[in-house]
Structures are given as C-alpha cells and as structure tokens.
Amino acid sequence: MFGRWFRRKGSSAAGEAAAAGEHLMDLRNIVKTYQSAAGNFTALKNVSLTVDSGEFVAIIGKSGSGKSTLINMVTGIDRPTTGEVIVGGTPVHTLSEGQMSVWRGRNLGIIFQFFQLLPSLSVVENVMLPMDFCHMYKPSERRERAMILLEQVDMAEQANKLPSAISGGQQQRVAIARAMANDPPILIADEPTGNLDSKTATAVFKLFEDFVGRGKTIVMVTHDNDLARRASRSVIVSDGEIVNQYLAHALPKLSLDQLITVTRQLDRLIFQPGQPIVQKGGSPDYFYIVTKGKVEVIIDQPGGGELIAEHLGEGDYFGELALLSDTSRRATVRAAHDNGAVEVVALDHTEFHALLDDSEATRLDVTRVAEQRLSASAV
Ligand SMILES: Nc1ncnc2c1ncn2[C@@H]1O[C@H](COP(=O)(O)OP(=O)(O)O)[C@@H](O)[C@H]1O
Ligand SMILES: [Mg+2]
C-alpha cells in the first residue's frame, strides 16, 4: 500500500490515484472543539484539505489561527471532534493509541519548533530511537544508518554529544535526522524554523527541498512568508478556517478577512469533460474560478464552426464579463475534453458585486482582465 506514496506527483500511478479521487492526505469536514473549564472553544470550523504525494505544502496564518491544531489532526497527536482524517488510505482518527503510535512511527517524520530531543541521550542515540521503536531496521544496522542521516544534516561530528552541548540550529538538524530515521514518506513540521536565525532556517529549508526532491511529501507550518513562498503551495488558515487557495490566487488583492468571507460563499460545482459551464446568450448569474482541470472558452466563427479562444486552468476565473456589464454571456465555456472531471467554484451575481464594492483594487484587476479579453476576442 505504501508503494504509491513514494511515486512523484505526475507519474501515472499518482495520476490514477487522483482520477479515482484519492489523495495522500484527505481531511474531511474537520471540526475541533476544545473543552475547558472556561467553556468550549472551536479551533477548527469545518475544515477540509487534501494533499497529494510529492507536494510541499506550507500552512500559514496568524498565531492562534489553528495551524498546530490542524496538523495535529494529521499526526494523530490530537483527534477531531467530528470529521475524518485519511492518510495513505488509513483512517487516522479511528486508530487506538497503540495503533496510532505504530502507524505514526512508520509513516510520519515529525519536527517541532522546540526540537524536543531527549536530553539524556546523545545525538546519535536520539536519531536511533525511532528505529528502536519501529523495528524497520535490524539492531545491527541502526547506528550506521543514524550516522548516515547525521552526515546528511552535517552533524556526524557531534554524534556523541548531548543535545545541551550543541546550538539550537544544530539541535534542529538532529531533529530532522531523527524524523527521517524510519525513512517515512511524509514529513510534518510545526514552525521548524521558528527558533532559528535566517541563515540556519535557509539551511533547514534546503534539507526539506532535498526531501521533496526524493519524491516525499511535506506539510510545514511556518510564519516565515519568504519560506512559504518557496513551498509548492500555501494554505492560509484564519480563525479556524482555510482560505480557498484558488480564490487567493485568482483575486490576490483581497484581504485575509475578505478571502475568508468569500470562501464561505463559494459553491463547488463539478462538470464532466465537454459539458458546458456557461452558455452563450445565457444570463449573467455566476462568477467562476477553476479549481481542478481546464476549461475552454469558445467563440462562434462568422462562417459557422467554433473557435477555442482560450484555455483556462486552476486559479483562473471566467464569467466576469457578463457580470460586470450585466449583459448576456458572450461566449460558451465548457469543461475541457482531455483531463477528467473539472471542478469550479462559483460566486453568485449579488456576492460578486458586493465583493467588488468591498475591494476597489480587485474591481480594477477584474475590469482590466475583462477589457483585455474583450479586445482579444474582437480581433
Ligand atoms: N488544548 C487546548 N485547549 C483549549 N484551547 C486550545 C488548546 N489548544 C489550542 N487551543 C486554542 O485553539 C486556538 C488555535 O490554536 P493553535 O492551533 O495552537 O494555533 P496556531 O498554531 O495557529 O498558533 C487558539 O486560540 C488556542 O488558544
Ligand atoms: Mg502553533
């Protein structure tokens, strides 16, 4: 079962898994409510998130927004109040504590902000510990393997020191070697560079890039925006909710609060290959953003026949022209034929206009795109 975890995104196996609706990680409708004497606090409000094999995902957001709570659902450190967490086909939220620790040891490398090395064990013993626990490597191999991992993070020379005798940056590198001890397919890191200077943070980040380069998957919480930009995807968490990433890409001038409000309003729609999404002559009812696959914008030719004027992909929007001018649709847009079902999210007419009223910068951007499309199709 774990074989496919190691394949790079884009390989045919990953493609088949995606087509069947399978993701490496699938968090479905997660609600997490903490109960305390002071009352209940809902830290995650119906959050859904998928991560595919080979992705490097950065989770960003303000302090207290729910980032740690979110990744603790994946590691099984904490459990959802309601919702499901499926990782590599395993329903993590249903595992007993005993099953959880075996599963975690074999499948996840976990890195925390405060390293959490055992103070009484030497550096190399810290790295051997997960191997001793999971029995994936023979006892006779473990020390040598730990030394190879320490070499990879440039810490082999400190192998016999206690954690207290090395710097914070060095401790974090040891923690990374420890996280990789059982060669897990997935690395989960909670602010791994939060206590490091920027040079050390960059070095740690480089190790992560190498890890992803070997076909592995990383989910990393960070509030370093420069590092987040170098990940393959950012997920924004705000007040226990996740901003729709395609919305953030399509309308980048929206504030975080606006992104959250609009995310709540989006309707998700699925179209089969070749199926029309908007029809020429139709009424200006919705604004659309492509969230999966490609769509084709089709213009009728003067002599009959049709012309594909444009292909739009994930994070592109359409349908703005008719809404801005309050006229009927000028073109037909349909799901492309070549790539399975297409997903879009839609905002209705009223919500779209309220959004533009709320963000003048977005109005300017969307109007500019509409004008460019109009002049291109008039040629
Ligand atoms: N064990 C807990 N009991 C009660 N509230 C908690 C607990 N853990 C976290 N919270 C609250 O949940 C919210 C999200 O916390 P957290 O996920 O740690 O945020 P982040 O990692 O984004 O800083 C915060 O308001 C925090 O105070
Ligand atoms: Mg946190």
Three state DSSP letters for the chain: CHHHHHCCCCCHHHHHHHHCCCCCEEEEEEEEEEEECCEEEEEEEEEEEEECCCCEEEEECCCCCCHHHHHHHHHCCCCCCEEEEEECCEEHHHCCHHHHHHHHHHHEEEECCCCCCCCCCCHHHHHHHHHHHHCCCCHHHHHHHHHHHHHHCCCHHHCCCCHHHCCHHHHHHHHHHHHCCCCCCEEEEECCCCCCCHHHHHHHHHHHHHHHHCCCEEEEECCCHHHHHHCCEEEEEECCEECCHHHHHHCCCCCHHHHHHHHHHCEEEEECCCCEEECCCCCCCEEEEEEECCEEEEEECCCCCEEEEEEECCCCEECHHHHHHCCCCCCEEEECCCCCCEEEEEEEHHHHHHHHHHCHHHHHHHHHHHHHHHHHHHC
Ligand 1 atom closest to Cα of 78?
A: 1
Residue nearest to atom 25 of ligand 1 (CA): 64
Q: Which CATH number fits domain 248-378: 3.10.20.310, 2.60.120.10, 1.10.760.10, 3.40.50.2300?
A: 2.60.120.10
* 222 within ligand 1 shell (Cβ under 6 A): no
- As assigned by CATH, the class of the 2-242 domain is alpha beta
Q: Which ligand approaches the C-alpha of residue 64 most closely?
A: 1
* 43 within ligand 1 shell (Cβ under 6 A): yes
Q: Which ligand approaches the C-alpha of residue 72 most closely?
A: 1
From the CA of 256, how far away is ligand 2's center (Å)? 19
Domains 2-242 and 248-378 share a fold: no
User: One digit per residue, pLDDT tens: the chain, 379 residues?
Assistant: 333 333 333 333 333 344 445 899 999 999 999 998 989 999 999 999 999 999 999 999 999 999 999 999 999 999 999 999 999 999 999 999 999 999 999 999 999 888 789 999 999 999 999 998 888 899 999 999 999 999 988 899 999 999 999 999 899 999 999 999 999 999 999 999 888 888 888 888 888 998 999 999 999 999 887 888 889 888 999 999 999 989 988 999 998 889 989 999 999 999 999 999 999 999 999 999 999 999 999 988 888 888 898 999 999 999 999 999 999 999 999 999 887 899 999 999 999 999 999 999 999 999 999 999 988 876 5
Domain boundaries, the chain: 2-242, 248-378
pTM: 0.80
